[in-house]
Amino acid sequence: MPEIIETTVYRLDELSEEAKEKARAWYREGGFDHDWFEFVYDDFERICEILGVTLETRTVRLHGGRTRPKPCIWFSGFWSQGDGACFEGRYGHAKAAPRRMRAYAPKDHELQRIADALQAIQRRNFYQLRAAVTHRGRYYHEYCMAISVERDSPAWQDMTADAEDGVVEALRDLARWLYRQLEREYDHLTSDEAIDEAIVANDYTFTETGRRFG
């Protein structure tokens, strides 16, 4: 025979501090959007376009059977020594990249430095350098990217002595920059303040001990 059981539920601000921590832990484990990094990815795609990096894409299947291209960007984080970010793509000279980068990210000195470094190397090689970036191995960090650099010279001129190392290091620095942005975004979204805001906005309720109710 069915029974009616009454349960008193609480909003987040009505819980004890211990119960609030339990409620936050529930949200971190199951209430967190698995696509939280998409905004960072979108920003990174724009930055790559400014620098002259064309990201490779792969086809992913959506709900309903449709598909869409997704950039070849990967990361792992944020607790192990081998964590990081990497990408696949092709690099070539982009006109006015330093100026465009300063307009897009006026306060990001690291991105400006990368743009300046690539521009300087290209200038010494008459803007003929190209690079291919591919992922290798089962980890995801800047050293999992195989980067091959060549000079597309009609006269078969060799690269300058610093060209290959300079391009490789700049592209690895770009992957390092991406990882830092992902880590910063994750830290923000999993902070107590951001989680409290999300719980309140979704009107979640809990038992007195902080267990999710409805």
Same domain, 38 and 82: yes
Give the model's pLDDT for residue 23: 87
Same domain, 80 and 165: yes
pLDDT by residue (tens digit) across 46-59?
Answer: 999 999 999 999 88
Residues 6+ apart with CB under 8 A from 127: 93
Task: In whole angstroms, give the CA distance from residue 210 to residue 191.
Answer: 18
Same domain, 73 and 147: yes
Same domain, 150 and 51: yes
Give the model's pLDDT for residue 180: 97
Give the model's pLDDT for residue 31: 65
| Proportion of the chain above pLDDT 90, given as a percent | 68
Same domain, 46 and 104: yes
Give the model's pLDDT for residue 208: 87
Same domain, 110 and 209: no
Q: What is the count of structural domains for the chain?
A: 2
Give the structural domain span for 211.
1-32+192-214
Same domain, 4 and 58: no
Give the model's pLDDT for residue 34: 67
Name the least confident of 26-30, 63-67, 143-147, 175-179: 63-67
pLDDT by residue (tens digit) across 1-46?
Answer: 677 878 888 888 888 999 889 989 888 887 666 688 999 999 999 9
Please tell me which residue, 79 or 155, carries the higher pLDDT value: 155
pTM of the full predicted structure?
A: 0.89
Same domain, 124 and 62: yes
Does position 101 have pLDDT exceeding 90, yes or no? yes
Task: In whole angstroms, give the CA distance from residue 71 to residue 57.
Answer: 4
pLDDT by residue (tens digit) across 110-132?
Answer: 999 999 999 999 999 999 999 99
Asked whether 121 and 63 are in contact (CB, 8 A), the reply is no
Same domain, 178 and 203: no
